[in-house]
């Protein structure tokens, strides 16, 4: 199993622990990652402004991976959704494809459309399998209740992203449970974290995040688990701002899935970058079995 | 006479230019914090900061940066071995020539009292380093004009730099070549150092020796020579010349020129070409010196300063005024190498948006112009502001900048500085603003919210119907263009299938967030679909709902009619921004 690792812009700049924990966990499971230095923005931040510009950026990434004959693994759900959208649009609309390819050709690139775009979670679930993961878990969690946050852009629009059942997804829950933790049911589990509005309408964005945090906490979760750059920045960095700005302290710390899985595999917490999260999650180690 | 006057003029312009440039570092307005502080206070703060840093343990960091990043060019090496080779050839060769050759009466003679420019090892080294620079320049021309990396632009400033370097070195080498063969030069030297006159026997012997061994071309003495004459010449040479002259072959660049021009060297000499070349060589050097503060060569001074300053300063601990000063210096530290643009995450978008200001290397001069406070047409300002805002703050430009410029901070501060001018930036209504949100604690809430409010209001204000919601809507004439025009992205025209069931509105988490959503959002998702279907532009574009959509796709996923609600909203946002931008001119 070999994939081109697509990190996007935020991970190397302000979420390095997502990269290091992913590398550690995938390394442990025998998934090989290839870095493509030339990758650029996935295009997602430009979608509000100009569709074609966002498709061009996305398509360049796809063309770069294709050039090396690799499929892509994406860690961020917004990035995943954007790349899937571009892949779909370029296949469905020949005129768009021609315009984009004309620009790409200037640097010797071309979108052919013969690569697969996968999110980290779908690689773990579909390629690696829950069974294989379970075999690698050496210190399963005990009595740990996790609010599993799916993230919108991997689930929807389902006809394009084809991640899991959009109404009743189970993939992420099963992956969480492979670590020994219990993935609880909570009503707003498929709702938006609010990150797409952060920076545009912070109050609304924080409202959405706060609602989810409250619901998850009321439903008995000890931690919230996510697997998306924006969701995590929202539930970690922005949650911290919610606490200071609004004086509300819900404190349901968020942990990235590869951090959660890595702990249960016995991987060094420094590699998993636990201390790099804004909100302290060191307490989760107390749930690990001996 | 010419030499001294030209040198002093060049030096005066150089020093004046440098003082002017340094002055701008303390007066350019970059971060809003620095605006109320006078240039002299900024200068004092900088001096204090520098002294305190040098006296602290940070001196070790400075020393490390000096050797690794300034002398050895670590950052260039890490990014591209090819560029590193080019730069080391040019800068290494040129620095050596400046120290050993240009400043020889001061430096070289000081260290080696027996120094003569025509004596080894100096003779050989001068040519060696000259040739290294030439090779570097040729590779640089190859990189910029033939290889042409995507989005690497070459300005007249870049071309000028390469031309001046080439002229200085090439004229120097040809000058050396014509001097080797020059009989006039030989005569002068023999008069001065051997005290011999034309016609004397010794003169004949020495000339024969120099023609044979030192490639000089005499108008009347040519090979073959009598061996005793040569021996006689050698003796005089050993006595009068050898102390200052190694064999010309060691000056291999000039020697090749001498060999190549052998047939025409007498006319060259008679036409005083060596003197002409001498003027060209020195004029080129003096022009280079005088123009240095205004050209990209200023980076010889500013890039090291930027590297040193950035290695010991940080947003959290440094005095904000000093950061503003450093950022003004950074504008001059950029040498337009294009390394940042090569790694820019959004560089590709400049091709679609036709805005070069997206590219970091092109943004620098534009932002410098903005911060200088010069008058600027609204359209130009908008292009710069938009270009500066199309940035995901991925930090890659900053990581690779060989001048150590903290570009990300510079972009951030300049964007905020530009927001102070109250020009509505529609691009702010996108996730490009996410990073700004994370940084909001660094600025007052009012400064933070204003650009967002302005952008939203500027868009909504152009749609009259939203202002008077009680007014009866005339359906005729409806905007047919809108009904058929949502074709930018796939599937957006599906709004025509909406039958008004309101499922989209009912599942929308944004709508659900408010007691009275219509009051806040203006229009609800199903109403927007309907307005688009009816072709009522004002209602489709003028609601706040567009900018409060969190793009979670719940509406689209659950629509029983297959309307791609989120895609329609995306498309309406694209069009609203495009329309508002056109209206702004």
pLDDT number for residue B373: 85
Answer with the one of A96, A119, A142 that is the final residue of a domain. A119
Q: Are residues A99 and A134 in the same domain?
A: no
* pLDDT score recorded for residue B34: 52
The strands making up A32-35's β-sheet, listed across from edge to edge, are A32-35, A2-6, A71-74, A117-119
d(CA A204, CA B512): 11
Q: What are phi and psi of A3, to 5 degrees?
A: -135, 150
Would you say A214 and A187 are in contact if contact means Cβ atoms under 8 Å apart? no
Please give the CATH number for the structural domain made up of B466-584.
Answer: 1.10.1060
Q: Which of B395, B430, B554 sits opposite A13 (nearest CB)?
A: B395
Q: Is residue A193 situated within a structural domain?
A: yes
Q: For residue A40, which residues of chain B lie inside 8 Å, CB to CB?
A: 344-348
Which domain CATH number covers A169?
3.40.50.11810
Backbone φ and ψ for B317, nearest 5 degrees, come out as -100, -25
Do A240 and A153 fall within a single domain?
yes
Same domain, A24 and A107: yes
CB contact under 8 Å between B345 and A41, yes or no, is yes
Residues A260 and A140 both lie in one domain: yes
Q: How many residues are listed for chain B in this entry?
A: 585
Close Cβ partners of B196 (under 8 Å, ≥ 6 residues apart): B190, B202, B203, B206, B236
Within 326-385 of B, beta carbons closer than 8 Å to A belong to: 343-349, 351-353
Count contacts between A and B (CB, < 8 Å): 172
Asked which of A63, A88, A119 is the last residue of a domain, the reply is: A119
Bridge partners of residue B108, in order along the sequence: none
Q: Which of A87, A119, A151 is the last residue of a domain?
A: A119
Domain ranges in chain B?
Answer: 1-72+295-337, 181-279, 339-460, 466-584
Buried/exposed B264-276: b ≥16 CB within 10 Å, e otherwise: ebeebbeeebbee
Residue of A11, A13, A48 to mutate for B, most B C-beta atoms under 10 A: A48
Residues within 8 A of A (CB atoms), B 223-282 only? none
Tell whether A243 lies on the interface with B, counting CB pairs under 8 A. no
In whole angstroms, what is the distance from residue B135 CA to residue B36 CA? 49
Residues A57, A185 within the same domain: no
Q: Kindly write down the DSSP assignment for every residue of B491-529, as one continuous string.
A: TGGGGGG-----HHHHH-HHHHT-SSHHHHHSS-HHHHH
Instruction: Identify which of A239, A245, A240, A237 has the alpha carbon closest to the alpha carbon of residue A212.
Output: A239
- Report the residue of chain A nearest B434, measured CA to CA: A199
Structural domain harbouring A187: 129-287
Record the tokens describing residue B428, joined without a space.
Answer: 């702010």
Q: How far apart are CA B523 and CA A110, in angstroms?
A: 41
Residue A141 shares a structural domain with residue A112: no
pLDDT for B478 equals: 62
pLDDT for the residue B316 = 83
CB atoms near residue B438 (< 10 Å): 18
- Residue A231 is assigned to a structural domain of this protein: yes
pLDDT for position B28? 84
A36-56 pLDDT tens trace = 999 999 999 999 999 999 999
Contact of B106 with chain A, judged by CB distance below 8 Å, is answered with no
DSSP class of residue B204?
A: H
Task: Give the helix/strand (H/E) hosting B135.
Answer: helix B122-141
Q: What is the pTM of this model?
A: 0.93
- Note the pLDDT of residue B397: 97
Query: Taking Cα atoms as reference points, which of A94, A95, A103 lies closest to residue A59?
Result: A103
Residue A154 forms part of a structural domain: yes
First to last CA, chain B: 58
In a domain, A124, yes or no: no
Side-chain-side CA neighbours of residue B475 (13 Å):
6
A114 and A134 housed in the same domain: no
- What CA dihedral angle connects B454, B459, B462 and B463, to 10 degrees? -130
Give the CA angle between residues A273, A277, A282 to the nearest 5°.
75
- Shared domain for A77 and A163, answered yes or no, is no
Q: Do A48 and B431 touch (CB under 8 A)?
A: yes
- A40, A48, A237 ranked by CB distance to B346: nearest: A40
Structure tokens, B450: 């204003």
Cα–Cα distance measured from residue A233 to residue B429, given in angstroms and rounded to the nearest whole number: 19
Rounded CA-CA distance B187/B176 in Å is 16
Cβ-Cβ contacts under 8 Å, B348 against chain A: 40-41, 56-57, 60, 103
Contacts of A201 in chain B (CB under 8 A): 452, 547-548
Q: Tens of pLDDT along chain B (585 residues)?
A: 888 999 999 999 999 999 999 999 998 877 655 567 888 999 999 999 999 999 999 999 999 999 999 999 999 999 999 999 999 999 999 999 999 999 999 999 999 999 999 999 999 999 999 999 999 999 999 999 998 888 999 999 999 999 999 999 999 999 999 999 999 999 999 999 888 888 888 999 999 999 999 999 999 888 888 899 999 999 999 998 998 999 999 999 999 999 999 989 999 999 999 999 999 999 999 999 999 999 999 999 999 999 999 999 988 888 888 998 999 999 999 999 999 999 999 999 999 999 999 999 999 999 999 988 888 999 999 999 999 999 999 999 999 999 999 999 999 999 999 999 889 999 999 999 999 999 999 999 999 999 999 999 999 988 877 776 666 666 665 666 676 666 655 566 788 889 989 999 999 999 999 999 999 999 999 999 988 888 888 888 989 999 999 999 999 999 999 999 999 999 999 999 999 998 886
Model confidence pLDDT, tens digit, residues A229-243:
999 999 999 999 999
Look up the ipTM and state it: 0.97
Question: Residue A24 maps to which CATH number?
Answer: 1.20.1050.140
Helix (H) or strand (E) holding A256: strand A254-256
Looking at the structure, tell me whether residues A200 and A155 fall in a common domain: yes
Q: Are residues A67 and A206 in the same domain?
A: no
Contact B346 A153 (CB under 8 A): no
Give the one of A60, A93, A230 whose C-beta lies nearest to B348's C-beta.
A60
Chain B environment of A88 (Cβ under 8 Å) = 490
Structure tokens at B37: 């502080």
Q: Which of A229, A266, A274 is nearest to A120 (CA)?
A: A229
Q: Do A52 and B352 touch (CB under 8 A)?
A: yes
Do A270 and A167 share a domain, yes or no?
A: yes
How many structural domains are present in chain A? 2
CA–CA gap between residue B490 and residue B278 (Å, rounded): 68
The angle formed by the CA atoms of residues B449, B455 and B458, to the nearest 5 degrees, is 130
**Distance from C-alpha of B310 to C-alpha of B406, rounded to nearest angstrom:** 7
Regarding whether A83 and A142 lie in a shared domain, the answer is: no
DSSP code, position B377: -
Spatial CA neighbour of B416 closest among B435, B399, B430, B397: B435
Q: Which residues in chain A touch residue B359, judged by CB atoms under 8 angstroms apart?
A: none
């Amino acid at each position: 199993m070999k994939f081109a690792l697509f990190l996007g812009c935020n991970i190397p700049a302000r979420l390095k622990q997502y990269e290091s924990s992913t590398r550690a966990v995938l390394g442990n499971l025998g998934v090989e990652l290839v870095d493509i230095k030339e990758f650029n923005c996935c295009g997602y931040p430009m979608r509000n402004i100009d569709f074609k510009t966002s498709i061009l950026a996305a398509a360049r990434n796809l063309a770069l991976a294709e050039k090396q004959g690799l499929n892509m693994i994406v860690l961020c759900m917004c990035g995943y959704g954007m790349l899937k959208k571009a892949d779909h649009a370029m296949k469905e609309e020949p005129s768009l494809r021609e315009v984009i390819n004309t620009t790409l050709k200037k640097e010797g690139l071309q979108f052919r459309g013969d690569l697969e775009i996968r999110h980290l979670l779908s690689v773990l679930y579909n390629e690696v399998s829950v069974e294989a993961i379970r075999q690698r878990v050496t210190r399963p969690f005990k009595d740990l209740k996790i609010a599993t946050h799916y993230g919108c852009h991997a689930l929807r629009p389902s006809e394009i992203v084809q991640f899991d059942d959009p109404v009743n997804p189970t993939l992420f829950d099963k992956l969480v449970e492979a670590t020994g933790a219990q993935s609880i049911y909570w009503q707003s589990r498929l709702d938006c974290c609010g990150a797409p509005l952060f920076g545009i309408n912070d109050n609304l964005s924080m409202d959405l995040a706060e609602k989810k945090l409250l619901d998850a906490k009321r439903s008995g979760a000890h931690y919230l688990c996510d697997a998306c750059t924006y969701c995590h920045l929202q539930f970690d960095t922005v949650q911290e701002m919610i606490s200071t700005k609004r004086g509300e302290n819900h404190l349901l710390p968020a942990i990235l899935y590869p951090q959660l899985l890595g702990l249960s595999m016995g991987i060094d917490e420094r590699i998993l970058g636990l201390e790099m999260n804004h909100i302290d999650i060191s307490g989760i180690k107390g749930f690990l079995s001996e | 006479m010419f030499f001294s006057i030209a040198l002093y003029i060049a030096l005066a312009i150089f020093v004046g230019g440098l003082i002017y440039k340094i002055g701008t570092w303390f007066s350019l307005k970059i971060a809003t914090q620095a605006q109320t502080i006078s240039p002299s206070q900024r200068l004092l703060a900088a001096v204090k900061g520098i002294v305190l840093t040098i006296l602290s343990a940070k001196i070790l960091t400075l020393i490390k940066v000096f050797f690794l990043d300034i002398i050895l060019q670590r950052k260039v090496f890490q990014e591209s071995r090819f560029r590193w080779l080019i730069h080391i050839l040019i800068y290494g060769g040129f620095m050596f020539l400046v120290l050993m050759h240009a400043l020889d009466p001061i430096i070289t003679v000081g260290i080696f009292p027996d120094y003569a420019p025509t004596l080894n090892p100096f003779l050989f080294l001068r040519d060696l380093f000259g040739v290294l620079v030439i090779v570097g320049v040729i590779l640089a021309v190859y990189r910029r004009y033939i290889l042409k990396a995507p989005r690497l632009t070459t300005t007249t400033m870049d071309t000028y730099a390469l031309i001046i370097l080439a002229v200085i070195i090439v004229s120097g080498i040809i000058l050396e070549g014509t001097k080797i063969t020059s009989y006039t030069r030989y005569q002068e030297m023999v008069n001065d150092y051997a005290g011999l006159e034309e016609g004397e026997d010794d003169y004949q012997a020495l000339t024969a020796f120099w023609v044979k061994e030192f490639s000089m071309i005499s108008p009347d003495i040519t090979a073959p020579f009598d061996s005793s004459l040569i021996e006689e010449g050698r003796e005089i040479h050993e006595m009068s010349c050898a102390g200052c002259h190694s064999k010309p072959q060691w000056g291999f660049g000039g020697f090749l020129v001498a060999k190549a021009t052998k047939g025409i060297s007498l006319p060259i000499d008679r036409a005083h070409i060596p003197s002409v070349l001498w003027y060209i060589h020195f004029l080129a050097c003096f022009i280079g010196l005088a123009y240095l503060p205004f050209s990209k060569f200023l980076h010889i001074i500013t890039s090291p300063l930027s590297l040193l300053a950035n290695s010991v300063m940080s947003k959290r601990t440094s005095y904000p005024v000093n950061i503003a000063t450093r950022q003004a210096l950074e504008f001059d530290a950029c040498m337009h190498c294009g390394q940042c643009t090569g790694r820019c995450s959004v560089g590709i978008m400049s091709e679609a948006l036709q805005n070069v200001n997206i590219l970091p290397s092109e943004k620098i001069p534009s932002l410098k112009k903005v911060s200088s406070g010069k008058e600027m047409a609204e359209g130009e300002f908008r292009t710069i502001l938009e270009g500066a805002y199309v940035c995901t703050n991925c930090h890659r430009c900053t990581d690779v900048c060989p001048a150590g410029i903290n570009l990300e901070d510079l972009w951030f501060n300049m964007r905020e500085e530009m927001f102070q001018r109250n020009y509505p930036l529609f691009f702010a209504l996108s996730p490009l603003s996410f990073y700004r949100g994370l940084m909001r604690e660094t600025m007052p809430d009012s400064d933070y919210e204003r650009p967002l409010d302005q952008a939203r209001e500027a868009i909504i204000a152009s749609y009259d119907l939203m202002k008077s919601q009680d007014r009866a809507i005339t359906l005729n004439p409806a905007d047919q263009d809108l009904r058929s025009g949502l074709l930018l992205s796939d599937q957006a025209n599906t709004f025509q299938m909406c039958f008004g069931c309101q499922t989209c509105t009912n599942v929308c988490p944004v709508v659900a967030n408010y007691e009275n959503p219509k009051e806040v959002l203006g229009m609800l998702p199903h109403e927007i679909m309907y307005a688009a279907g009816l072709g009522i532009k004002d209602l489709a574009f003028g609601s706040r709902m567009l900018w409060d959509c969190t793009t979670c796709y719940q509406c689209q996923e659950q629509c029983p009619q297959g309307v791609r609600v989120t895609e329609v909203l995306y498309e309406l946002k694209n069009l609203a921004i495009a329309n508002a931008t056109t209206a702004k001119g």
